[in-house]
Amino acid sequence: MHVTMIGSGYVGLVSGVCFADFGHNVICVDKDAGKIEALRRGEIPIFEPGLEQLVADNVRAGRLSFSTDVETSVAASDVVFIAVGTPSRRGDGHADLSYVYAAAREIAQHIKGFTVIVTKSTVPVGTGDEVERIIRETNPDADVAVVSNPEFLREGAAIEDFKRPDRIVIGLNDDRARGVMTEVYRPLYLNQAPLLFTARRTSELIKYAANAFLAMKITFINEMADLCEKVGANVQEVSRGIGLDGRIGSKFLHAGPGYGGSCFPKDTLALAKTAQDYDSPVRLIETTISINDSRKRAMGRKVIAAMGGDIRGKAIAVLGLTFKPNTDDMRDSPAISIIQALQDAGAAVTGYDPEGMDNARQLIDNIAYADDAYSAARDADALVIITEWNQFRALDFGRLKSVMKAPVLVDLRNIYRHDEVTKHGFAYTSIGRPMNG
Ligand code: NAD
């Protein structure tokens, strides 16, 4: 099959290269000429484990190429995916669909023959209807089926997720697209990955419902962690105790500084806004959003409390800036609000992240950036772990103590045990665990 991917970001690039790896001929298009030039040189604009090699293999095999030219790629394609960004709209929190609609308009002008247009971007219910309307308005002769196929991959494990998905959701109202989509996903289908066909609107809602549920699950355990601290219980044991129940499941039950990233914050907000528009508010999700928002700054207060309550003029080292490990994505990372809270209280912050510092520099002003954990910690009055990169899981506490001004560790991801830190003379604070836990 000939496939065009419009938008070559985290989702478009990973999906495009995986489709090429399935044996399809794929052109990844982006309007960012710099990105396309870099990709043509073999440089990958994002950090995603395994991506560079997979791109190189598929380019070499002649199945994957990169272009800024929508016209030639769309005209030659059986399937065109839209994988552009759908950020929060400034001001009201609805999903900003301007990139999706612009892509639909561009695609419409160049369609030749029956073409399946697939929205892979996360879009509110009814967007497929509008994409179809735009295409018919722009090019009344275009023969298209507009399909919803939301993406569930996780950054940091994106290739594995794409190639071994729990399910593939395909929403369509035109049966001609069913065979085409089955063919596109054929290798996964043969591997027994469930293909769930639904109506288009249902598929659009499934993506938001999934993300909202996961955000709610994280927020639930975060609130349990706060309660654990008050009652002297251990949230990790609570997680295990409830997660072993098959009805609950153990994933997404790790207490931490609040969810962030390029999806959960904007998608929960967009769902809440859509639901309000339809006069069917999703109050659980509205509450989830507000709990999570206040949690990030509360984590700043937790650090301040761990340092004795007054941090004016103190130095704080922060390890991990991205919203989770194994990505360079800084969008809506909890680190941004936490660092801001520490700066507001008068501290000087030095940060280190294995992959996220280039992106962090665009978003976080007035902090110093270090080359590794130990140089970040030099002369610091406290060390804060915000993101649980593997390289922070076995820190040399003796070495840290020798370079820090005060041995204070605040572990917002619970990656250490109390005894293994305190035996080195550190004061240790974590999330939802008793002091001896
Ligand atoms: P991204 O910002 O990394 O990439 C979007 C790309 O689209 C950019 O490179 C941009 O230049 C390009 N673009 C925008 N308009 C274009 C146009 N008209 N023509 C060609 N290129 C255009 O975004 P992302 O993280 O890949 O997310 C894309 C969509 O997938 C969003 O709707 C997001 O919610 C959804 N999604 C993201 C993830 C994730 O983990 N990042 C997971 C599942 C779903």
* Minimum-distance ligand 1 atom for the alpha carbon of 120: 30
Both tokens assigned to 34: 């710099």
Does the CB atom of residue 99 touch ligand 1 within 6 A? yes
Does the CB atom of residue 155 touch ligand 1 within 6 A? yes
Mean pLDDT of the chain: 97
Q: Give the pLDDT of residue 252.
A: 97
φ and ψ of 306, to 5 deg: -65, -25
CA distance 227 to 239: 13
Q: Give the pLDDT of residue 160.
A: 97
Does the CB atom of residue 75 touch ligand 1 within 6 A? no
Q: Give the pLDDT of residue 190.
A: 80
Is the CB of residue 3 less than 8 Å from the CB of residue 27? yes
Does the CB atom of residue 105 touch ligand 1 within 6 A? no
DSSP letter string over 386-400?
A: -S--GGGTT--HHHH
CA distance 337 to 251: 25
Q: Give the pLDDT of residue 365.
A: 83
CA distance 54 to 56: 5
Q: What pLDDT, in 10s, does the model give residues 400-431?
A: 999 999 999 999 999 999 999 999 999 999 99
Out of 164, 183, 198, a domain closes at 198
Q: Is there a single domain that holds both residue 23 and residue 172?
A: yes
Is the confidence at residue 436, as pLDDT, over 70? no
When computed from its CA atoms, the radius of gyration of the chain, rounded to whole angstroms, is 23
Is the confidence at residue 209, as pLDDT, over 80? yes
Out of 154, 180, 198, a domain closes at 198
Q: Is there a single domain that holds both residue 124 and residue 54?
A: yes
Q: Please name the residue whose Cα sits nearest to atom 2 of ligand 1.
A: 85
Q: Is there a single domain that holds both residue 179 and residue 52?
A: yes
Q: Is there a single domain that holds both residue 326 and residue 236?
A: yes
Does the CB atom of residue 381 touch ligand 1 within 6 A? no
Which one has a higher pLDDT value, 278 or 191? 278
Q: Is there a single domain that holds both residue 156 and residue 278?
A: no
Does the CB atom of residue 36 touch ligand 1 within 6 A? no
* Minimum-distance ligand 1 atom for the alpha carbon of 46: 3
Q: Give the pLDDT of residue 435.
A: 76
Q: Please name the residue whose Cα sits nearest to atom 28 of ligand 1.
A: 85
Is the confidence at residue 98, as pLDDT, over 90? yes
Q: What is the mean pLDDT of residues 158-187?
A: 96
Is the CB of residue 3 less than 8 Å from the CB of residue 22? no
Best of 4, 5, 11, 327 for a ligand 1 pocket test (most atoms within 8 Å of beta carbon): 11
Q: Residues 18, 28, 228, 263: which is the catalytic one? A: 263
φ and ψ of 116, to 5 deg: -95, 125
Residue 378 pLDDT grade (very low, low, confident, very high; cuts 50, 70, 90): very high
Out of 144, 167, 198, a domain closes at 198
Does the CB atom of residue 84 touch ligand 1 within 6 A? yes
Q: Is there a single domain that holds both residue 137 and residue 154?
A: yes
CA distance 203 to 199: 6
Ligand 1 centroid–CA 84 distance in Å is 3
CA distance 267 to 264: 5
Catalytic residue list contains 263: yes
Q: Is there a single domain that holds both residue 68 and residue 143?
A: yes
Residue 163 pLDDT grade (very low, low, confident, very high; cuts 50, 70, 90): very high
Ligand 1 centroid–CA 309 distance in Å is 42
Residue 437 pLDDT grade (very low, low, confident, very high; cuts 50, 70, 90): low
Does the CB atom of residue 101 touch ligand 1 within 6 A? no
Q: Is there a single domain that holds both residue 63 and residue 204?
A: no
* Minimum-distance ligand 1 atom for the alpha carbon of 122: 32
Q: Is there a single domain that holds both residue 385 and residue 248?
A: yes
Ligand 1 centroid–CA 248 distance in Å is 31
Ligand 1 centroid–CA 202 distance in Å is 21
Q: Is there a single domain that holds both residue 211 and residue 138?
A: no
Residues sharing a CB contact under 8 Å with residue 28, sequence separation 6 or more, in sequence order? 5, 8, 12, 13, 16, 17, 39, 64, 65, 66, 67
Is the confidence at residue 394, as pLDDT, over 90? yes
Does the CB atom of residue 48 touch ligand 1 within 6 A? no
Q: Is there a single domain that holds both residue 154 and residue 28?
A: yes
Q: What pLDDT, in 10s, does the model give residues 358-376?
A: 999 999 989 999 999 999 9
Q: What pLDDT, in 10s, does the model give residues 330-343?
A: 999 999 999 999 99
Q: Give the pLDDT of residue 149.
A: 98
Which residue do the tokens 């993406």 mark? 151
Is the confidence at residue 152, as pLDDT, over 70? yes
Count of structural domains within the chain: 2
Does the CB atom of residue 204 touch ligand 1 within 6 A? no
Q: Give the pLDDT of residue 191.
A: 80
Ligand 1 centroid–CA 86 distance in Å is 7
Is the confidence at residue 291, as pLDDT, over 90? yes
Ligand 1 centroid–CA 301 distance in Å is 34
Alpha carbon 406 to its chain's center: 34
Ligand 1 centroid–CA 408 distance in Å is 40
Q: What is the mean pLDDT of residues 272-277?
A: 98
For residue 311, give the CATH number of its domain. Answer: 3.40.50.720
Q: What pLDDT, in 10s, does the model give residues 108-134?
A: 999 999 999 999 999 999 999 999 999
Q: Please name the residue whose Cα sits nearest to atom 1 of ligand 1.
A: 9
Is the CB of residue 27 less than 8 Å from the CB of residue 5? yes
Question: Whole domain around residue 263: which residue ranges?
Answer: 199-437
Going by the DSSP 8-state scheme, the letter that residue 378 receives in this structure is T
User: Sheet containing 427-429: which strands, arranged edge to edge?
Assistant: 368-369, 348-352, 315-319, 382-385, 408-411, 427-429
Q: Is there a single domain that holds both residue 292 and residue 415?
A: yes
